[in-house]
Structure 1
Amino acid sequence: MEEYLILMRLDILTKEAQPSPEQLQVYMLQYQEWINGIMAEKKFKSGTALSTEGRVIQSDFIITDGPYVETKESLAGFIIIYAKDFDDAAKIAKKCPILMGAGNSVEVRKVIGIHKED
């Protein structure tokens, strides 16, 4: 099994795209059920949500507020899973409840570590 990163993106700017508190509870339950399913298969490694605030440091060392506030789609969080290959990882990612929101997306990337633990 190899490690894969599932990045979850959603619209955090458009007022109409924001869920009500009741909808948010339903979405969080669906998300937890999805994660529990991955854990039951012993394919979950870790994950977390991300704040909407951030800083972007560009190659010229200029620091700006971010991330990329002019785009609607923002990185909301990520999980790291174990999967046999990209197809297996994509199969897991396709069940992410974030995909039920219009314009939302997930991205699957293979983790290829370059840093070694001592």
Structure 2
Amino acid sequence: MDNFLILIREDIAQVSNLSEVEMQADIEAYTQWVENLAAHDHFVSGEPLEAKGKYMTKEQVSSDGPFIESKEVVTGFILIKARDLDEAVELSKTCPIFKGNGGALEVRPIMKY
């Protein structure tokens, strides 16, 4: 089994406007999803991320986040184990992000060296 990183990308405006009840429902849905991945020995690690942060280049720290140049923000990550990229994508299709208010996932293989 190889490791794959799932980046969770959401519209910052939509995430910011969730009610407490909606936020709790999202947390419960993601918790159930991760528990299911773990029960099938696919979950390695994962955490939600704060929207705030710093965007940096070699020359400077160019902006504070959330970044106005992008309406989409990475709100979390999940590290999973899968046979290959196709299986990682299939596992990712069950993510609650596809049942909610939109958003996207990026699935990336962890490079072996």
**TM-score in same-fold range (> 0.5):** yes
Q: Check whether the contact 1:6–1:78 (CA below 8 A) recurs between aligned residues.
A: yes
- 3-state SS of 1:38 partner: helix
Structure 1 residues 10-52: Cα deviation after superposition (integer angstroms, max 9, x where no partner): 111258x722111111111111110010000111110111111
Structure 2, gaps ≥5 residues long: none
Larger Rg over CA atoms: 1
Q: Check whether the contact 1:56–1:67 (CA below 8 A) recurs between aligned residues.
A: no
Q: Give the structure-2-normalised TM-score.
A: 0.89
Structure 1, gaps ≥5 residues long: none
Alpha carbons of 1:112 and 1:100: their partners in 2 closer, same or farther (altered >3 Å)?
Answer: same
Aligned-pair identity (%): 35
- Total equivalences in the alignment: 113
Q: Check whether the contact 1:53–1:67 (CA below 8 A) recurs between aligned residues.
A: yes
**Relative to structure 2, which stretch is displaced further, 64-73 or 101-110?**
64-73
Q: Which residue of 1 aligns with 2:57?
A: 58
Q: Where do residues 9-28 of structure 1 align in structure 2 (5 Å cutoff)?
A: 9-14=9-14, 18-28=17-27
Per-residue deviation, 1:9: 0.6
Matches of 2:63 and 2:54, distance apart in 1: 6
Ranges of 4+ aligned residues in structure 1 off by more than 3 Å:
none
Q: Which residue of 1 aligns with 2:30?
A: 31
Letter in 2 for 1:90: V
Matches of 1:108 and 1:56, distance apart in 2: 22
Q: Check whether the contact 1:99–1:106 (CA below 8 A) recurs between aligned residues.
A: no
Per-residue deviation, 1:64: 2.2
RMSD of the TM alignment (CA)? 1.8
Q: Where do residues 87-106 of structure 1 align in structure 2 (5 Å cutoff)?
A: 87-106=86-105
Alpha carbons of 1:35 and 1:14: their partners in 2 closer, same or farther (altered >3 Å)?
Answer: closer
